[in-house]
Structure 1
Amino acid sequence: MSQQALWSGRFEDKMDDSTLSFTSSLDVDVMLSFYDVMGSLAHVRMLKKCEIIPSDDADRIIEGLKTIAAEMENGEFKMDESLEDIHTNVEFRLTDMIGPAGGKLHTGRSRNDQVATDFRMYLRDMTLETVKNIDLLIDSLITIAKDNGDTVMPGFTHMQHAQPVTLAQHMLAHAFKLSRDAQRFLDAFERLNLCPLGSAALAGTTYPIDREMTARSLGFKGPTFNSMDSVSDRDFVTELAFCASLTSIHLSSMSEELILWSSQEFGFIEMADKYTTGSSIMPQKKNPDIAELIRGRSGAINGSLITMLMMIKGLPLSYNRDLQEDKKPVMESLDSLNSCLTMMSKVISTMKVRSDVMLSKVTSGFINATDLADYLVTKGVPFREAHGIVGASVRYCIDNGKKLDDLSVEEFNKFSPLITDDVYQFIDVRNCVERRSSFGGTSSASTDYQLMIAIQEYMAREDIVRQESDLIESCWDELLN
């Protein structure tokens, strides 16, 4: 049966091939094939229980859908390109297998609620997969932090040396950014995990359906509450596009640092050979291409968010065909993000840290200037006055080619008579790090606590992802058995 034959009751003229080509979503719908069959299995089981269709017909539909699921798993399911979407392909294949009874599958539903349900199920799985990959990267960062609690490096503001920190502190800063990203995805998961099936075209249905049953059968928390909102809502898509966008921004920032750190000018790290590339004409080159590509791909991921925002900004209630265009940008966005997360985890976990270079950069400038000011404060000097004294000391060092550590007590006394021999212990960079023991600071005690929190957050999400994945998998097993 052709697409034209399906809707032949209303139209006199045959659909032009260009119309079918322009309106078809099959190239994207193929990703929803499995979910469409699962949704149909839950729907027909509900129709049977509610005695909306004959039990014998329901059983034949169920067996036919199970066969289609097996065909899809084995790569034997053939898409008919004369049909515009996956839903029609499944229904027509079912009717070919079991006869007119297959047409009863669509009782009490519309393609509007059907596609919204399929896409929510797809995005549930993609969300859980993304959280797992974010946490995989966090685990790599945590490992670096554990191994580098005493690796001192420059902390930067405005890309200028600011204060000494540990590499552990720096890696944990990225870990906490990503932890928020993972939590945002789980928060979005909670909002998308409601089932629109049974909302029909927009107003619900006259059949005595059980939407709670279909929702639970598909692993949802429950049904959506308003049928018009159910078929027109794409907040869940847009929210995930935002989650992906912000995560990609954090990856891009991390990539920028790794690119700088691996340069000869910094020399803080060396990336593993298997995650770098060479030059076609310069044999000495070792290029950080993965980090550069991750930085570059953030543009397309952010573009998907803009696509969604512009798509939904002027749509009246309820369903509009514009919403067919919601899938491709977000699918591609999440695919790209997950590949970036996976590769970044490999880059981080295999990079070589040059702690000696980091330490040499710390001791080559005036990164302990704030600590000298704090030292003066302990002697009773107001901080603003201390700030000026240290500024003058730094200017003296610059003019004379010295570091603060090189100055004698006599030289220090030119700026303040309160400075004595104990100043050298105070401005030692390792001591500077350890004294920053405030909550969230860079001391070893503070970073040990941060490590504990980061690991706890990671493990809590791991439990949630496992529970949700197991629930969904158990629903598929029950529907197919």
Structure 2
Amino acid sequence: MTENYNEFPAEIYSRTVLEPDFDIYRNVFANELHAINLAQTVMLQRQGLITESEASMTAEALFHIMENVDFASMTYDGSFEDLFFVIERELAKRIGISVSGKLHTGRSRNDMEHTMFRMVLKKKLIENLELHESLVEKLIYKAGSNLEEIILLYTHGQPAQPSTLAHYLGAVIEVILRDMERIYSALQNVDLCPMGAAAITTSGFNVDRELMAELLGFHDCVENSYGAIAACDYITASYSAMKLSCINLGRFVQDLASWTGFEISQLYVPDGFVQISSIMPQKRNPVPVEHMRLMFSLASGGAEQIIETMHNTPFADMNDSERETQSNGHQVFDRMKRALMLLSGFVEAIEVDQSSVNKRIDASLATITELADSIVRNEKISFRQAHQIAHKIAQTSIEQQKSLQEFSFEEYCCFFKSEIGDNAKMKPGIFNQISDPRHFVAVRNLRGGPSKESMLESLQKYREKGESYIEKIAAEKTRMELAVNQREQSAKNLMIS
């Protein structure tokens, strides 16, 4: 045995855990640690737990350390466990331990660290909500500009019915708005302050938990002090919402990949989003779609990793939920940011290839459901009887390789009489419009349907819902900004010139 394992820190422990952890602390959470220290100083003075002179000395030293100590160039040297103790050392050097040591009154690294984690996670969630809202705005605009652009929708991988791009995008918008609801709900859980919980059971000091929450930009405190340091549902709720959003958006992106492919070619992608082949001159590869799919998949996997890290851990303060886990989770937000930004731009750029869509609608007999519906309305027979007539026409169409438009009214009358035993009552003009996909869309004017009138009503609801999130996000950001100003100014006011 060549290494001394009786002296802290063991070299292997330092190299594999403490050094990387120190780097995470100084790069990710240093500003939050400073904010907590300033808020603690203000609170202790107001509660009479330190004197005005001690508060002044502490505040001045904290500002000096943040402005003059180069955390970015620091390396872990083993003399202290983490950045918290480095700050304590710097404070003691500047104002003496008899004063600096009072800053830790009524608190613990337990409540401090989960407060830091929540502060950073809040910012990530808010930015993520803003990116979702930006995508919703782009989708609403795109849908509003494509109320009458016909596309072909699929079920089970096969052509099904015509609709509009607006109608399809409306479904995507609704899912994103529900994802935003889940993310916002997670944010409300994150937006609770653990400070004052101390190690586990609060303390015997008269600390003001509500003031700490206010100064740090939280809307309230975590009620139970043990839950403040032990519960990790704020983490799992956040990453569950991220994972669901990635899954939902990934499905949308997969449709984009399919619809921009040669076999379906419903959407045209402009050259700005197309890469070429190094050998095949004809190739137009909409590669950004693949990158979006990849980014959402990696983000989904990263979110699942964080959720599973919490599985089967004790309901207690444990390192499983702390800095390494938190910083790994931040990669989920980084990947989602890139993917959401790219998707927003891609949605703006794409256009419906109407000529290609029309050919596929004709070839697939996608409007034939309207034939069955029209038979019911005009011939006064049951839908199942009408369905059978339409089915036979479809079979004949496939066998003879002719589109529904090529079927004559006389042929329809023959099919009807053969099946029902009576003459058809439908008018030729009604029959002739059945194969028109625009007619198909126009008559589907129920709430949530693809008709222009229905879609205009839906889009207005989406706008109102999106605007409500803009207001909520703005309120959260304003409260956080006010907290920064209040905290900084209150701490500076403590300083006696």
| Alignment partner, residue 425 of structure 1 | 433
| Alignment partner, residue 14 of structure 1 | 8
CA distance in 2, matches of 1:94, 1:357: 71
Task: Give the alignment of 1:195-210 within 5 angstroms.
Answer: 195-210=193-208
Shift of 1:121: 0.8
Partner SS, residue 265 of structure 2:
coil
- Please tell me whether the aligned partners of residues 228 and 317 of structure 1 are also in contact (alpha carbons under 8 angstroms): no
**2:62 aligned to 52, 65, 83, which one?**
65
Are 2:406 and 1:406 aligned? yes
Give the structure, 1 or 2, with the largest relative contact order (CA under 8 Å, sep 6 or more): 2
CA distance in 1, matches of 2:89, 2:362: 73
- Please tell me whether the aligned partners of residues 389 and 415 of structure 1 are also in contact (alpha carbons under 8 angstroms): yes
| Alignment partner, residue 364 of structure 1 | 363
| Alignment partner, residue 297 of structure 1 | 295
- Please tell me whether the aligned partners of residues 164 and 433 of structure 1 are also in contact (alpha carbons under 8 angstroms): yes
| Alignment partner, residue 266 of structure 1 | 264
Are 2:87 and 1:79 aligned? no
| Alignment partner, residue 5 of structure 1 | none
Shift of 1:200: 0.9
Which letter maps to 1:443? S
Partner SS, residue 364 of structure 1:
helix
CA distance in 2, matches of 1:191, 1:148: 38
CA distance in 1, matches of 2:184, 2:84: 28
Partner SS, residue 163 of structure 2:
strand
Partner SS, residue 363 of structure 2:
coil
Deviation by residue 1:122-167 (Cα, 9 ceiling, x = unmatched): 1111111001001111111112111111101112111211111011
CA distance in 2, matches of 1:227, 1:429: 62
Shift of 1:181: 1.1
- Please tell me whether the aligned partners of residues 366 and 403 of structure 1 are also in contact (alpha carbons under 8 angstroms): yes
CA distance in 1, matches of 2:360, 2:76: 63
- Please tell me whether the aligned partners of residues 362 and 404 of structure 2 are also in contact (alpha carbons under 8 angstroms): no
TM-align CA RMSD? 2.0
Structure 1 residues 346 and 90, CA, compared in 2 at 3 Å: closer, same or farther? Answer: farther
Shift of 1:344: 0.9
Which letter maps to 1:439? R
- Please tell me whether the aligned partners of residues 166 and 442 of structure 1 are also in contact (alpha carbons under 8 angstroms): yes
CA distance in 2, matches of 1:161, 1:376: 22
CA distance in 2, matches of 1:294, 1:460: 27
Shift of 1:77: 5.1
CA distance in 1, matches of 2:296, 2:472: 27
Shift of 1:238: 1.0
319-328 or 153-162, which moves further after superposition?
319-328
| Alignment partner, residue 182 of structure 1 | 180
**2:464 aligned to 456, 465, 473, which one?**
456
282-291 or 467-476, which moves further after superposition?
282-291
176-185 or 15-24, which moves further after superposition?
15-24
422-431 or 463-472, which moves further after superposition?
422-431
CA distance in 1, matches of 2:279, 2:327: 38
Shift of 1:112: 0.9
Partner SS, residue 220 of structure 2:
coil
Gaps of 5+ in 1: 1-10
Structure 1 residues 76 and 363, CA, compared in 2 at 3 Å: closer, same or farther? Answer: same
Gaps of 5+ in 2: 417-422, 490-497
Deviation by residue 1:20-52 (Cα, 9 ceiling, x = unmatched): 233322233221221121122111211111111
Partner SS, residue 415 of structure 2:
coil
| Alignment partner, residue 99 of structure 1 | 96
| Corresponding residue pairs, total | 469
Query: What TM-score does the superposition give when structure 2 sets the normalisation length?
Result: 0.89
Structure 1 residues 76 and 19, CA, compared in 2 at 3 Å: closer, same or farther? Answer: closer
- Give me the identity figure in percent: 27
Deviation by residue 1:75-134 (Cα, 9 ceiling, x = unmatched): 765434134434333333333443323332222111111110011111111111001001
Shift of 1:412: 0.8
CA distance in 1, matches of 2:217, 2:486: 11
CA distance in 1, matches of 2:269, 2:376: 43
CA distance in 1, matches of 2:478, 2:67: 21
Partner SS, residue 194 of structure 2:
coil
Partner SS, residue 163 of structure 1:
strand
CA distance in 1, matches of 2:51, 2:262: 75
CA distance in 2, matches of 1:172, 1:404: 29
Partner SS, residue 363 of structure 1:
helix
Structure 1 residues 84 and 180, CA, compared in 2 at 3 Å: closer, same or farther? Answer: farther
223-232 or 421-430, which moves further after superposition?
421-430
| Alignment partner, residue 211 of structure 1 | 209
CA distance in 1, matches of 2:367, 2:172: 24
136-145 or 298-307, which moves further after superposition?
298-307
CA distance in 2, matches of 1:389, 1:112: 72
Shift of 1:288: 2.4
Structure 1 residues 477 and 77, CA, compared in 2 at 3 Å: closer, same or farther? Answer: farther
**1:248 aligned to 242, 246, 249, which one?**
246
Which letter maps to 1:91? E
Which letter maps to 1:290? P
| Alignment partner, residue 492 of structure 2 | none
Deviation by residue 1:292-325 (Cα, 9 ceiling, x = unmatched): 1221233332223332333222223321222224
Partner SS, residue 153 of structure 1:
strand
| Alignment partner, residue 327 of structure 2 | 328
- Please tell me whether the aligned partners of residues 296 and 339 of structure 2 are also in contact (alpha carbons under 8 angstroms): no
26-35 or 335-344, which moves further after superposition?
26-35
- Please tell me whether the aligned partners of residues 192 and 219 of structure 2 are also in contact (alpha carbons under 8 angstroms): yes
